[in-house]
Amino acid sequence: MMGDFCNKAEKGETPTPDQTPTPSALRCLSKLIAAQLKTNKFDVPALKAHRDQRIVAGGRDCPGGIFYPIIKSTVLPKVSASLGDK
């Protein structure tokens, strides 16, 4: 995903439409993740965002304050549903 999904959410402001991934982009991302999980035999709980991997001090905020909750609330449930997970 390309874009800046940090600006307003990091400041506690409401994001504008151009700061959120489009529904089409989210569908494509969900399909891509599901295909990779099937190919590589991983399950949804194994997925981590870049920010979840803060091994070194000063870790990244990726995928941004706007996109991170969308992954949890929209993308991962779609991936689970497409894989038949409960």
Break the chain into its structural domains and give their ranges: 7-83
Cα dihedral value 59, 61, 73, 16, nearest 10: 180
Q: What is the pTM of this model?
A: 0.74
pLDDT per residue as tens digits for the range 6-43: 766 556 666 666 677 888 999 999 999 999 999 998 88
Chain mean position to CA 64: 9
pLDDT per residue as tens digits for the range 59-78: 567 787 778 888 989 999 99
